[in-house]
Amino acid sequence: MEQFVLTDHPHRRYNPLLDEWILVSPQRAKRPWQGQNEAISDEKKPEYDETCYLCPGNDRINGGTNPKYENCYVFDNDFPALLKDEVASDLAQEDLFKINPERGINRVICFSPKHNVTLAEMEVSEIENVIKVWKEQYLELGAIPYINHVQIFENKGSVMGCSNPHPHGQIWAQSSLPTQVKRTQDNLLKYFQKTGKSLLKDYLESELQKKERIIAENEHFVLLVPFWATWPYETMIISKRHFSSIAEITQEEIKSYAEMIQIITVKYDNLFKTSFPYSAGIHQAPTDGLAHVEWHFHMHFYPPLLRSATVKKFMVGYELLAEAQRDLTAEQSAEILRNLSTQHYKH
């Protein structure tokens, strides 16, 4: 019988955060690609664009006007997915037809007044300003009585559905715990109740010993490809110290966190010499007033590109009907990312 080889044979890996499995098929990475290629824009953007709804001093589509901001700028989304007003509901609840009104607030954060930069092209000090705003928004929105979850995220690139290239992210704060967050919380809590320790703290300590999937680390944070990664170059930033939310982050940790964000976004751009698209977001404790010691602060990066700047990973067929699947192993993608320069290719 042939001996199992991690880089040659199909296998499944377990994701303890979501209590689910992923199929890894490393032998498929050798197959030729004849499918769709994404269009990559090499258009050079100006530092200020008079037609951009997010640039300083410009009119937004709803009739409001942006101030001439010099750092980060936050405003309520002009086309929110959630609404602030409470509504009365007398809907009868049935086992197979459940429906509940959802209340919340959507905000946009412009990371910089410059239209032609991304996080990868910003200084560490500028990324620190973004993190400070994330913290302020988490505390402000989380203090609203009906807000129980604050989701901070960024969609970068048109392939990820971003409709405006100006550097920005979003916050969706809502009254309920979203499905992915609830599943993560349930599994973190189950582990904490069983061991009295943070799942991600134990996981991180094991990863630091193995050193197979670590991309970079500093005093306070670690950047790695998770063992159970689904997307080809999926990564996580995990705090070394066990704390539950960005509300507890220190000034020293903010600087270390900014350094990790700069490193991964620069490495992403360097991978295929393009402005690398991704969806990224923070997972942290809900804002329901409970302690939530089971939560451990971390950030996910989900980039779609697979083989080049024009070939992306599709979640179709088996992935939609059975379970997630990837070709490149987590260890292979970690090695590729680890060996990339931390100096942006444009420089």
Q: Tokens standing for 6?
A: 């991690």
Bridge partners of residue 155, in order along the sequence: 279
Q: Tokens standing for 201?
A: 């703290």
Looking at residue 223, the DSSP 8-state letter turns out to be E
CA nearest to 212, candidates 191, 229, 187? 229
Residue 13's alpha-carbon distances to 27, 94, 121, 185, 304, in angstroms, are 16, 37, 35, 20, 20
Q: Report the C-alpha gap between 110 and 75 in whole angstroms.
A: 9
* Element of type H or E holding 263: helix 251-272
CA nearest to 177, candidates 98, 251, 288? 288
Q: Has 168 been annotated as catalytic?
A: yes
Q: Strand 73-76 to strand 298-302: parallel, antiparallel, or no bridges (unpaired)?
A: unpaired
Give the active site residue among 115, 149, 166, 168. Answer: 168
Place of tokens 């970079």: 216
Beta strands in 96-220 (DSSP E): 104-110, 149-156, 168-174, 214-217
Residue 177's alpha-carbon distances to 85, 181, 258, in angstroms, are 18, 6, 27
Q: Report the C-alpha gap between 270 and 344 in whole angstroms.
A: 6
Q: Hey, what amino acid is at 248? A: E
Q: How many residues does the chain have?
A: 347
Q: Report the C-alpha gap between 67 and 57 in whole angstroms.
A: 5
CB atoms under 10 Å from CB of 63, counted, come to: 7
Residues with catalytic annotation? 168
